[in-house]
Each structure stands twice: as C-alpha cells, then as structure tokens.
Amino acid sequence: MLQLHYRELGQGAPLVVLHGLFGTLDNWQTLARRWADAGHRVVSVDLRNHGRSPHSPEHTYALMAADVLGLFEQLGLGPDTTLLGHSMGGKVAMRFALDYPDRLAKLVVVDIAPRASDMHHQDEVLAGLNAVDFTQCTSRQAADDALARHISSFGVRQFLLKNLYRQDDNTFAWRVNLPVLTAQMADIGIEITGAQPFLKPALFINGGKSDYIDANDKLHGIPALFPNSQVATILDAGHWVHSEKPDEVFGLVQDFMGM
C-alpha cells in the first residue's frame, strides 16, 4: 500500500476522483473546483506510478484499490463517499467498489467497461514516450518533436506533455513510471471481475464517439457486476469526455450525487 499524493477542495459529502492512464489529478481540477463550489469535499488523487505519487514495480488493480483504501483511512472518508474514475482510474474505482463496497455510497465510472482490452491502442503512445531521449532533450519543444514522430494528434501530445518536468539537476523526466507501465501494459487491460456484484448506485458515463463502452457492455457486462447502474451517453464526445464536454459531465455527476 502506497501513500498517494492528493489535493483536497471544499466541504460536504465526499467525492474522490481518479484519473486515467498517463494522467494526473491536474486533469480533473477544473471540474473538482466546480464540484467543491457546489458543496462537495473533493479529493483528487494521483494513482501509483503517476503524477506526484510514489513509483512501484507493481501496478495491479488490487494494489491500486488498496492504495485508495489507505487514502480513505488517512483522510477519514466515510461510507457517504462517491468514488469517480476515468479509464484506468475507472477500473480502479470498479475494483475498489467490488472489494470494499461498505466504504462507498455511489460509484461513477467515466468511459470504461469492466471487460478486457488488448491495449494495442496504446502502442503509439508508448513508442512516443519511450522515444524521448532525455540525455538529448533540453526543451519541451524537443520532447514534442520526439513524440510527434509516433503520435500525430496534437491534443494527445499536449496531454502527455503534462507529465514532463525538470528535475533538481535541471534535466527533464517523465512523472509517470514509464518502464513499469510499458512492461505491465497488458495487465492494465485486464477484465474486472467480482465474486459478488456491487449493489449500490453506479453511474457509467460514456462518450458517444468512443468505443470504450459498447452495446454488449451496456446490456451484459456492466449490469452483471453493477446491477443498480445506469449508462449516460454524452453525444459528440470521445474518450476524454470530461475535457471535451465538462458541463455535461459536471451536471450528470452533480445530479447523481444529489439523488
């Protein structure tokens, strides 16, 4: 169990927010401030091997859920807490809900299903991140140029470059634990299973242009583990639903927590 880095805003019923693969808590700060202003205690988290949280050679959903449980205990978060996770963070949130159901009131999962993924869609991202040679890279632009040889999308590169930082010796590095994430990418795609379903309310939010949640997930995969769930689709949004349609995500989660 690792002691995770987090940021806390506001007061009220708790909402804990978990980012996705290669992300940090900063990805959710605009929405976190809005939920805090709306009357919630919002705790945004850097998961292990991401952001400012510790690095570890192990990166499993059981361990990440246990890390989050440690944070719940550290902050005295009670069973009135809502846990929200996006993508990889959504799988952490599902694992947490299934392993520690008594610690939650509600679950929100953003654009991910419990089923397995082969993770080949991350091949170009991994190639780009691993192509950046920090013995030669002396600027953000140089890092972007190296990424661009593998990743054509400017938006994806800007998202990844949020992990770039200067070390004490003035050299650049990634905040993510890239060797471990590269080695364990297949494990990040594993299916989430449970001996018993999570019976409390769950909200799944998916982007209408994303294939991370499909029709079979809605009919079978999600209800099997989360029978008291609903799926809300935000049209004209892709996988990064919260950055593309923040007003819609804010409203859906705010309404769900108020139910």
Side-chain-side CA neighbours of residue 189 (13 Å): 14
CA dihedral 210, 117, 147, 90 (to 10 degrees): 70
Does residue 259 surpass a pLDDT of 70? no
> In terms of pTM, does the model score above 0.85?
yes
d(CA 243, CA 249): 9
d(CA 153, CA 90): 24
HEC per residue, 55-98: CCCCCCHHHHHHHHHHHHHHHCCCCCCEEEEECHHHHHHHHHHH
Confidence of residue 87 (pLDDT cuts 50, 70, 90): very high
Contacts of 62 (CB under 8 A, 6+ apart): 95, 99
- Could you list the beta-strand ranges (E) of 159-238: 164-166, 172-174, 202-207, 229-234
Contacts of 233 (CB under 8 A, 6+ apart): 205, 206, 207, 208
CA dihedral 105, 245, 151, 176 (to 10 degrees): -30
Angle between helices 61-75 and 88-99 (to 10 degrees): 70
Question: Is the Cα dihedral 154, 159, 165, 171 positive or negative?
Answer: negative
Picking from 76, 82, 74, 89, the residue whose alpha carbon sits closest to that of residue 25 is 89
Picking from 33, 32, 30, 22, the residue whose alpha carbon sits closest to that of residue 87 is 22
pLDDT (mean) for 224-231:
98
Looking at residue 120, its pLDDT comes to 87
DSSP letter (8 states) at residue 54: P
Region of 76 please: left (phi>0), alpha (psi -120 to 50) or beta: left
R_g of the chain, CA atoms, integer Å: 18
Tokens of 166: 């200067």
The CATH 3.40.50.1820 portion of the chain extends over 6-116+190-257
Q: CATH assignment of 6-116+190-257?
A: 3.40.50.1820
Does residue 124 surpass a pLDDT of 80? yes
Helices (H), the chain: 29-37, 61-75, 88-99, 123-131, 140-148, 154-161, 178-183, 185-188, 215-216, 222-225, 241-244, 246-258
Looking at residue 137, its pLDDT comes to 85
Cross-strand pairs, 202: 107, 229
Does residue 211 surpass a pLDDT of 70? yes
Rounded alpha-carbon distances, angstroms, from residue 165 to 174, 177, 211, 247: 6, 13, 32, 30
Confidence of residue 28 (pLDDT cuts 50, 70, 90): very high
pLDDT (mean) for 10-28:
96
Residues designated as active site: 87, 239
